[in-house]
A and B are shown apart, each in its own frame.
Chain A
Amino acid sequence: ETGVTQTPRHLVMGMTNKKSLKCEQHLGHNAMYWYKQSAKKPLELMFVYSLEERVENNSVPSRFSPECPNSSHLFLHLHTLQPEDSALYLCASSQRAGASYNEQFFGPGTRLTVL
């Protein structure tokens, strides 16, 4: 596979469930990102990892818990979510965080619905 892949593509969960979103990049990049895209709002950066170390956390609620075991994989663990957390969650990667060339390659996203 090439590029950035995300699983699952669609997820429906109840507020008491625990689930995880997975992202994998096959580009040899060192930085990975989680974004949230809600209807009619700009893309919101949630987390940035550079060389498996978190460098940015934009005041995201603790019910979202990221994990980056290596530079190719990124997880977003979800628990006790709220209906307003329903959104498209996009993963992206780039060569380096903070580099002069910061083109980010995006995955297809996970459409999350919280009931």
Chain B
Amino acid sequence: EDKVVQSPLSLVVHEGDTVTLNCSYEVTNFRSLLWYKQEKKAPTFLFMLTSSGIEKKSGRLSSILDKKELFSILNITATQTGDSAVYLCAVDDQGAQKLVFGQGTRLTINP
């Protein structure tokens, strides 16, 4: 059965800190891994990763995939209070034509 596990489940840091969020997966037919940010209701897309070792970057956020060890990390540097959200990791199962989501990491940035 497909499985996506995120850690930690909850993280509280101070503004300016750097955080690393983890996502490990077991999927039958891996196609891609996606990161989403969910603040209030609708998750918004951050990154899609398909190849190992290639870092995707957007401002203070970056992410990398390791297809050998079956995990991905999401880094946020110089965190701001606006980064407070639930970060969701999802893996695209090619055979099942669906995204399998992890439980999410709730990140809280204190001023």
Chain A residues within 8 Å of B, Cβ to Cβ: 4, 40-43, 45, 48, 50, 55-56, 88, 90, 97-98, 100-109
Contact = CB atoms under 8 A, between A and B. Distances in A.
Contacts of A48: 97-98
A106 B31 contact: no
Given A88-B41, A102-B92, A107-B42, 11 more contacts: A42-B103, A43-B90, A45-B100, A90-B43, A98-B97, A101-B48, A102-B99, A103-B34, A103-B45, A106-B44, A109-B42
A92 to B, nearest CB: 8
B4 A42 contact: yes
Given A106-B43, A106-B44, A100 B97 contact: no
Secondary structure type dominating chain B contacts: strand
Interface residues of B, number: 25
B101 interface: yes
Nearest to B92: A102
A106 B48 contact: no
Nearest to A40: B103
Contacts of B98: 45, 48, 56
A41 B102 CA distance: 8
Contacts of B42: 4, 90, 106-109
Interface in B17-58: 31-32, 34, 36, 40-45, 48
Nearest to A111: B41
Given A56-B98, A106-B43, A41 B31 contact: no
Contacts of B92: 102
Please list the 7 inter-chain residue pairs (A to B) with the smallest Cβ-Cβ separation, ordered nearest first: A98-B97, A43-B101, A106-B42, A109-B41, A108-B41, A42-B101, A102-B92
Nearest to B98: A45
A104 B43 CA distance: 9
